[in-house]
Amino acid sequence: MSMKTISRQNEAKGLGKEALKHAISAADFYLKATEKGASGIEALRLRHKVEYLLELGETIKANDKQATASSRPPELISTRVLPMPERTILYRSSKLHGLTFPPWTANSEARIFSGTCANAEPGRYIDPTPFSLSAEQQAIFAGWKRPSELIPGVDESNPEWMMIAENEIDLAQDLATDCSVVASLCAAAPHLASKKGSLLSSLIHPFDYKAMRPKVVENGPYLFRLNFNGCWRAVVVDDRLPVTSNDRTLYVVDRRNPKLLWPALVEKAYLKIRGGYDFPGSNSGTDLHVLTGWIPEQIFLKRIKKAYDEGNAILTLGTGNIPPEEEKALGLVREHDYAVLDLHSDENSRSLLIKNPWVDSLVWTGVGSSATLKTHTVGSTPEHATNQFRMAFEDVLQHFDSLYVNWNPNLFQFRQDHHFKWDMPDATEELVFTKNPQYRVLSPSGSPIWVLLNRHWQDGELEILRERKAERDRHNASLAHVSKQLGFMSLSIFTASPPGTRIPLPESHRCLHQGPYVDSPNTLLRYDPIPNTPQTLVVAQGELPLPTYSFTLSFFSTSPLTISKALDPLPYSETITSAWTRRNSGGSAAHPSYFINPQYSITLPQATPLSLLLSTDVKDLPVHIALIYSSSPTKRITSISGRDILVSSPEYQRGSTFCQTPASQPLDAGTYTVILSTFEPGQLGKFVLRVSTNVPDVVITPVMSSQAGKLRTVFSQPAVFKDGEERLRARIGIARLTRLSVVARATASGTSSSSGGGGGGGGLRMKLELGAGPGRRVLGPQYLYHNNPCGQVVRVLGLSPAPGTHRELPRSSRSKTCGFS
């Protein structure tokens, strides 16, 4: 491991004994350097470093001791030695509004309290700060009062009750213009008022660590430790609060705990550093950062502007499918990319300076446009128009489709590139992840990870691009509507079980971060990992047209990562490829034809967990898996109850579905049958069944239907019982020695049909007769049918034709009559 890595890891620890050890070691190093004869400015610089490190060590010891004694939440302290110019910046930043807020040190509390009390009247400290008020506030302002004067019913013998919330905290803002501060206090209340690890313990002093609440200082100062202008700083206020001449309030109140004092004191300390009670506004992320030190993040414009100003981001814009009439009216080109040359933001507006890269083209002419065609001049000769225009950010959001940001990779310390080839799955496995590249990503910390997926260019894509452009030009169509597409790709992070193993399909495990599907050759996923717990990164695609692609995955991080290809949680897998056809698509268990669905026998040689993954080539086809214990690998399941199903998938998911046995309850060795069904009978489609186990030599075979291998003849018209009819006949011609089976099923209306159908119907008797008239005879037994979902079957073995009967049939044939009653 490099010294740079070790240094960053040690800096990241920054707590307790480890941080103190580094501070002492660094102080000793600089002290020895001073003793070796450094002189002048260098000697002064070294002495300042020693003083700073000794002060830092005392702060670490004090914080560690206090946290240990009081169960204060741990705090990350930077152990980086600040050079003198940076320390000067911090001290210069201490001055605001004519006041001084010094950086916090280990002895700040003792120094501030002793100095403040020494300069105050006994028990009568008054903060001289001139808190400003707005005109509306000033009109009703009636002075300052202490809690004992302000809150009725004060128990002077037990003033601590003013720091206790007897009910759930319910803070409210009235006349003060500090909604972001009050919102921050509301959001942080569970952390501030917690009995264990309260953030108040590091925010307000003095603090009763035994009772885990602020102490009451009668008529005295309160000291706050607030994080602003680069470091933690000391802020002192008294306990007086502003009152009004009516029932309005200028400070935050708790509607359920009207005597609670500390929220108003926190608010006062914050407003002191912001200028007064006529607070002009902020945002709660900033306010919470001051109050708690927790890291804020403001998404999008502010974040991008900062990176842009620091030279760490390049911005471009892309329009969508703008109608032709709007192109001319707005001065924008549809499906076109623009460069961003500058970002501007102040209290009144936000705008972008944009350039159309075309030499001579339209520029933004919408409402509020400041577009001008600036001309570069080389010597005295005009060179070309720059096509620049400034556009309000609100208009950018309305008229542009995409904002593209390219970030400087030097924002990170570590990078790993992984290259892979991917053969595109066929249509039956597009909706599942069985063929998708998946990676196990392990980070020792929760610091952000950025993952860039780059699809390598190839000639086939170039041809598609050319065809798209030609088709668009021919039909004046949008690129989004031409037939040739480049497809889409995406990145996602999942929690798997076991951690870091492969994911079968998107719905099977919890997705931590889902990236968008983009038709660009690049897509970026940013996420915060779970420290020391592997997550699974999945590369997904949709409609990529070429059979094979090459990709590069680049991982950027501030901590070293351990990355490898994800493995299947169950190492042994078998796949079955088949289809639902008109003969075996029986629908759900609500239909009597359910048992004609494809059935497969699974024989396990020993106990093992088992998972079943079913996917189809029809994306909106609802499908289901049911696993049932079976007594024989060749016997079809013909009836089930709910308790017969050992495991099943969720109810009829579209395109794909998944189920597995609990890891703690593996299946015993033996034979099982899986039934694969669609929701409605007659729904057709190809499917792939993937069976995964923990053991090899699992035998999977199809369970054949009783009709398998037989020639199927369907009566052209269904047999229908009309009103008053109790018997129907149908003629069957036999041309040669055969084994005959006759199946009749009742339709939903209660009639019978030899061509199959749905369920329903009452009792039905069927028999096979030879001949007609008084001489006819019954062949085989009669069958009685009461809603048998598989229908009624008549089997006659060794049935042979007799010559001379029914000459309209081929020679050596005879007619049988099938009767229904």
Closest of 598, 810, 754 to residue 683, by C-alpha: 598
**CA atoms of 300 and 298, how far apart (whole Å):** 7
**275 Cβ contact partners less than 8 Å away, ≥ 6 residues apart:** 97, 132
Burial label for 200, CB within 10 Å (0-12, 13-18, 19+), is buried
Sheet harboring 222-228: ordered strands across? Answer: 204-205, 222-228, 231-237
Q: How far apart are CA 337 and CA 320, in angstroms?
A: 10
The three state secondary structure string of 718-749 is: CCCCCCCCCCEEEEEEECCCEEEEEEEEECCC
* Amino acid, single-letter form, for residue 136: E
Q: At what angle do helices 284-292 and 179-192 cross, to 10 degrees?
A: 40
Catalytic residue among 22, 205, 289, 336: 336
Q: Determine phi and psi for 658, rounding to 5 degrees.
A: -150, 145
Residue 192 neighbours by CB under 8 Å, 6+ apart = 185, 198, 199, 200, 203, 266
| H-only helix segments in 96-178 | 108-118, 135-140, 147-150
| Greatest Cα-to-Cα distance within the chain, rounded to the nearest angstrom | 134
Tokens of 481: 């509507």
Structure tokens at 555: 């991982």
356 flagged as catalytic: yes
CA 521/CA 489 separation, integer angstroms: 8
CA dihedral 103, 104, 110, 113 (to 10 degrees): 60
Query: Which listed residue (257, 356, 454, 788) is catalytic?
Result: 356
**φ, ψ (nearest 5 deg) of residue 342:** -165, 150
Task: Count other Cβ atoms within 10 Å, centred on residue 741.
Answer: 13
Question: Tokens standing for 549?
Answer: 């692609």
Q: Where are the alpha helices (DSSP H) in 16-122?
A: 16-35, 40-70, 84-92, 108-118
What does the DSSP 8-state code read for residue 719? -
Other CB atoms within 10 Å distance of the CB of residue 359: 9
Nearest to 512 by CA among 448, 467, 423, 570: 448
231 among known catalytic residues: no
* Residues in contact with 691: Cβ distance below 8 Å, sequence separation at least 6, in sequence order: 573, 574, 575, 576, 602, 610, 611, 612, 674, 698, 700
User: What is the rounded distance in angstroms from the CA atom of residue 331 to the CA atom of residue 369?
Assistant: 10
Cβ neighbours, 10 Å, residue 544: 19
Q: Quick count: other Cβ atoms within 10 Å of Cβ 777?
A: 7
Residue 345 DSSP SS3 = strand
Of 161, 159, 179, residue with least CA distance to 171 = 179
Q: Is 179 a catalytic residue?
A: yes
Q: In sequence order, which residues have a C-beta less than 8 Å from that of residue 150 and are 6 or more positions away?
A: 241, 243
Assigned token pair, 783:
């069958």
Q: How far apart are CA 602 and CA 659, in angstroms?
A: 15
Question: 542 phi and psi, to 5 degrees?
Answer: -145, 115
Cα of first residue to Cα of last residue in the chain, in angstroms, is 87
Catalytic residues: 179, 336, 356
